Structure 1
Amino acid sequence: MKVEIWSDIMCPWCYIGKRRFEAAMEQFTDAGSVEIEWHSFQLDPTIESGHGDNLYSYLSKRKGVPYEQAVQMNNQVTALASTLGLTYNMEQAVVANSFDAHRLIQLAKKHQLGDAAEERLFKAYFTEGKDFSDPETLVAIGKEIGLPESELKELVNSQAFAPDVKRDIQEASALGINGVPFFVFDRKYGVSGAQASETFLEVLNKSVGEWKKSQPAGLEIIEGQTCGPDGDC
């Protein structure tokens, strides 16, 4: 059964949601039946990389709140993240357009490394203060998680996987997703936000149980003359 997750690298709740979902998966006894697929989403596709604003200034302008309130909001989410073992250094965060980082994730998905790419990019942004719009940074991150250097260089020197990113964003709109993180279970149930692990576990049990009931029970075989590999005919 597939769980699809729409996320943006610069979303602090998406990193928190990832950890909480992972905690639910660790408790889920049938985790082997679950396939996870990450999808691209941009909270602000209009961001111009290299504009010079720090995260607090950016949020103050975008949300229309005082600078001090933006700092307080981020302090609260930073404290919550720390309870999950995540380190948020918001004052170091480089506000940049996430589109190219999403292209990297799409390349990683091709190599079954989508989750690794999400994890590494989250850490690069929230903990290390790296600029995920910088081509050299993207190549370094891609190599770190095991992507071929030749494909990474082709990625940063082209618009490869741009249609895949746009397709994910369009699909989110079609599903009525207007915020992230957003988790879709078997295209039947949607969970919005970084919910508690108990909530994810409840939906996993329900959706996987229903999915299993919908699967064919197996072949009904009508016996006849056959030959087997041992030569018995």
Structure 2
Amino acid sequence: MSTAGKKMEVEIWSDVMCPFCYIGKRKFEAALAEFPGKDQVAITWKSFQLSPHMVTDPAKNIHQYLAEHKGISLQEAERMNDYVTDMAAQVGLSYRFDQAVVANSMKAHRFSHYAKTQGKQDEAEERLFSAYFTEGKNTDDLDTLVTLGEEIGLDGAEVRAILESDKYTEAVRTDIYEAQQVGVRGVPFFAFDRKYGVSGAQDSQVFLQTLQKSFDEWKKENVSPIEVIDGPACAPGEDCA
């Protein structure tokens, strides 16, 4: 069986509010850019909710939420986020936790699932991360998501209609269930052909090595030797006259 037209799947479980997920995205992208077989790799984003019961509160920033959630002081929360901000800067990302809006991520995940049906899922994930961590946008707000959708080429009216319904809610829940089956305990989590997993925002070389290893195995499994029935034939160097 030929691999022509086929691609090896890399599934990425993440949450919009996860700072390491955006960093991991950049590190994985750096590895993929170096990978010779990148044109035969398909990326699928999978939903995961770190705080499924979070109540969206535009009046509260992430420093305040983290302090309350972990039972620590505001200063400690700011120090923790400063550490992550420095890590993000190393891969070219500018985090603004002082502006990030506390927002439930279910609607954003549904938005991503719709974008997938339009071939725009990676663009949707990038736009959501940037909106959340850099631009201080409320990613649980309907009008905001409609605008983000239009910016990546989606039909705004369709985005609105979908998010006003419960469409793709079950798809989000299925992703979360699959995460439990795969053994995902935290995000980001990268599954390579459902055989190898990389947890966390690892160094790009870790992603590159895992890409190569899983891709080599994927190719072997998807390319079968041709069965040959021997008969009279000429071989190089033989006298066939």
Give the TM-score taking structure 2 as reference length: 0.89
1:30 corresponds to which of 30, 37, 51: 37
Report the CA distance between 1:219 and its aligned residue: 5.2
* Corresponding position of 1:171: 178
Percentage identity across paired residues of the two chains: 51
RMSD, matched Cα: 1.5
2:139 corresponds to which of 132, 137, 146: 132
Q: How does 1:87-166 map to 2 (within 5 A)?
A: 87-166=94-173
Alpha-carbon separation, structure 2, partners of 1:86 and 1:105:
21
| Residues 137 and 215 (structure 1), Cα distance of their counterparts in 2 relative to 1, 3 Å cut | same
Alpha-carbon separation, structure 1, partners of 2:163 and 2:205:
40
| Residues 221 and 135 (structure 1), Cα distance of their counterparts in 2 relative to 1, 3 Å cut | farther
Tell me which amino acid in the other structure corresponds to 1:217: S
Aligned residues: 223
Alpha-carbon separation, structure 2, partners of 1:97 and 1:144:
22
* Corresponding position of 2:238: none
Note if contact 2:24-2:200 (Cα within 8 Å) is conserved in structure 1.
Answer: yes
Note if contact 2:58-2:101 (Cα within 8 Å) is conserved in structure 1.
Answer: no
Report the CA distance between 1:176 and its aligned residue: 1.7
Q: How does 1:199-210 map to 2 (within 5 A)?
A: 199-210=206-217
* Corresponding position of 1:16: 23
* Corresponding position of 1:213: 220
| Residues 214 and 55 (structure 1), Cα distance of their counterparts in 2 relative to 1, 3 Å cut | same
Report the CA distance between 1:39 and its aligned residue: 0.3
Tell me which amino acid in the other structure corresponds to 2:200: G
> 1:152-175: per-residue Cα shift (whole Å, max 9, x none)?
121121111111111101111121
Alpha-carbon separation, structure 1, partners of 2:35 and 2:158:
36
Structure with higher Rg: it is: 2
Alpha-carbon separation, structure 1, partners of 2:89 and 2:38:
26
Alpha-carbon separation, structure 2, partners of 1:190 and 1:218:
29
Tell me which amino acid in the other structure corresponds to 2:206: T
Give the TM-score taking structure 1 as reference length: 0.92
Secondary structure of the structure 2 residue equivalent to 1:167: helix
Alpha-carbon separation, structure 1, partners of 2:205 and 2:29:
11
Report the CA distance between 1:131 and its aligned residue: 0.1
Report the CA distance between 1:50 and its aligned residue: 2.3
> 1:47-96: per-residue Cα shift (whole Å, max 9, x none)?
11127322111101112222111100111111111121111011000011
Q: State yes or no: 1:181 paired with 2:225.
A: no
Report the CA distance between 1:33 and its aligned residue: 1.5
Tell me which amino acid in the other structure corresponds to 2:149: G
